[in-house]
Amino acid sequence: MDDRKILTVTELNGAIRSLLEGRFPFVSVAGEISNLHKPYSGHCYFTLKDASAQIKAVLFKMQQRYLAEMPKDGTHVVCRGRISVYEPRGDYQLIVDTIEVQGAGALQQAFDTLKRRLAAEGLFDEHLKRPPPPCPAHITLITAPEGAAVHDFIRIASRRFPPIRIAVYPAAMQGEPAAAGMIRALEAINAHGGTDLIVLCRGGGSAEDLWAFNDEHLARAIRASALPVVSAVGHEIDFTIADFAADLRAPTPSGAAELLVPDGEALRARLDHQQSRIRRSLHHRLDRLAQRLRLARQQLSTMPHPLDRLLLRLDHLTVRLEHALATTLANREQRLDRATLHLARLHPDHRLALHGQHLHALRNRLAQAVRSRLQATEEHFSRAAGVLHAVSPLATLARGYAIVRTGEGKKRIVTEAAQVRPGTTVDVVLHRGQLVCRVERSEGEECRRGEDNDQSSTASTS
């Protein structure tokens, strides 16, 4: 080909396509599928990558019928096909004919399982995430100091905002002890303080290289951090558990610097613009006030003795205002006094005091009535007791009298000598105790009549 010939873009892309298709008519490429998407056309577009490189690939709809199952992101496969160039965009890509799954994607399965479990716990909830400060003064990077990612971050951040201060906390970014080292770094930075936010900073790599960022304990340490944590790990297509647990995910370390650090030139330009707006606004307002002042001076200059009349009117209005205020205050004080008195009367304490006084008076009246009633009852009882004592047999017995009752059968009071016969027993009730006596004889008119009757009966009987 003549190097002096001027080619169009279409001709150049066509030549490259012919060269690649002729050089690689059929190839087998092993790698991990990522960024898999299937538009409305039904074709599958994805990226095939390994630890250090990637290539775009497409599996047309007609070739999908040969697949046992559709591969997913994170699946390790062997793609067989041919290299071609999509001339409208100048992209070269792998046109896939068949896909052979090399493994079930154990890492991807473990990643998905942990992600689902932590998400179910609410560890990734958006309301837990804290936005980073809009203009941080100090940023701490947890990263490997010898990596390119930290240098990219510092270079971009310093270029965007030179006054910013950046500290580097060294830690391993891959391998088995990396997660534990990052957890210790988070705890130490939170304990020491002195920074506005923390950035986990690491460049791209394979899934195995980035696996330390899929550690469950690291995710919990990120959420437990009192300072906002930003995850800037890998490339834009790489996702880790730390990305979901962090307060903010940046696509790359360089992207994190652009997201977190404000552009100093833009801030300065915005500040200048705001100052200009404020200055113009102040000038405009001062011009309007000056115009109003000139107009007022003109009006005053046309008035005859304007200040004298204004001062007199001001004095008159002042007197009226003072009088009105005094009258209003006096009326309000009277109303307030009446309301206070009325409120005091209606106050529960006052009403309780009145009811207490009334209750005390009723209690005194009741006590007096009870005492009077008891005294009258006692006097009545004393009189009744005196009368009862006067007529009581016990009082008579106390004076030396006795009560005689028949001692046999039904006991009856003996009031006449004729009621008992000699030889019978009688009970004599005394003031204290009683006597059982035998009647030797009875005396009295009735008794003699009884004896005479008994003798007559005896004589006639004989």
DSSP letter string over 188-234?
Answer: HHHHH---SEEEEEE----TTTTGGGG-HHHHHHHHH-SS-EEEEES
Give the position of tokens 């006795």.
402
Contact predicate 261/164, CB 8 Å: yes
Give the pLDDT mean for 26-49.
Answer: 88
Model confidence pLDDT, tens digit, residues 41-81: 888 999 988 877 889 999 998 888 878 778 888 788 889 88
Q: Which residues contact 217 (CB under 8 A, 6 or more apart)?
A: 179, 180, 183
Report the DSSP beta bridge partners of residue 45.
Answer: 37, 58
Contact predicate 458/451, CB 8 Å: no
Question: What is each CA distance from 266 to 269, 277, 295, in whole angstroms?
Answer: 5, 16, 43
**Of residues 289 and 9, which shows the higher confidence score?**
289
pLDDT at 103 over 70: no
Indicate the residue type of 170: P
pLDDT at 430 over 70: yes
State residue 181's pLDDT score. 93
Give the position of tokens 């800037």.
232
Alpha-carbon torsion, ordered 273, 279, 280, 283, to 10 deg: 180
Give the pLDDT mean for 34-43.
Answer: 86
CA–CA separation, 356 vs 365, rounded Å?
A: 14
**Of residues 448 and 76, which shows the higher confidence score?**
76
Question: What is each CA distance from 452 to 417, 445, 459, in whole angstroms?
Answer: 15, 11, 11
Q: Which of 257-261, 339-343, 357-361 has the lowest mean pLDDT?
A: 339-343
Residues in the chain: 462
DSSP secondary structure letters along 261-309: S--HHHHHHHHHHHHHHHHHHHHHHHHHHHHHHHHHHHHHHHSSSHHHH
Backbone torsions φ then ψ of 208, nearest 5 degrees: -65, -40
Contact predicate 238/107, CB 8 Å: no
Give the position of tokens 């030889």.
423
pLDDT at 184 over 90: yes
* SS3 category, 236: coil
Contact predicate 212/218, CB 8 Å: yes
CA–CA separation, 136 vs 197, rounded Å?
A: 8
CB atoms within 10 A of CB 140: 23
State residue 138's pLDDT score. 93
State residue 272's pLDDT score. 84
CA–CA separation, 456 vs 198, rounded Å?
A: 151
CA–CA separation, 251 vs 238, rounded Å?
A: 8
CA–CA separation, 99 vs 77, rounded Å?
A: 7
pTM of the entire predicted model: 0.44
Report the DSSP beta bridge partners of residue 94.
Answer: 57, 83
Q: Output b/e per residue, 444-454; b: 16+ Cβ within 10 A.
A: eeebeeeeeee
Model confidence pLDDT, tens digit, residues 185-226: 999 999 998 899 999 999 887 667 788 999 999 999 999 999
DSSP secondary structure letters along 109-137: HHHHHHHHHHHHHTTT-GGG--PPPSS-S
DSSP secondary structure letters along 73-106: TT-EEEEEEEEEEETTTTEEEEEEEEEEE----H
Give the pLDDT mean for 29-42.
Answer: 86
Radius of gyration over every alpha carbon of the chain, rounded to an integer in angstroms:
61
CB atoms within 10 A of CB 132: 20
State residue 462's pLDDT score. 27
CA–CA separation, 340 vs 73, rounded Å?
A: 81
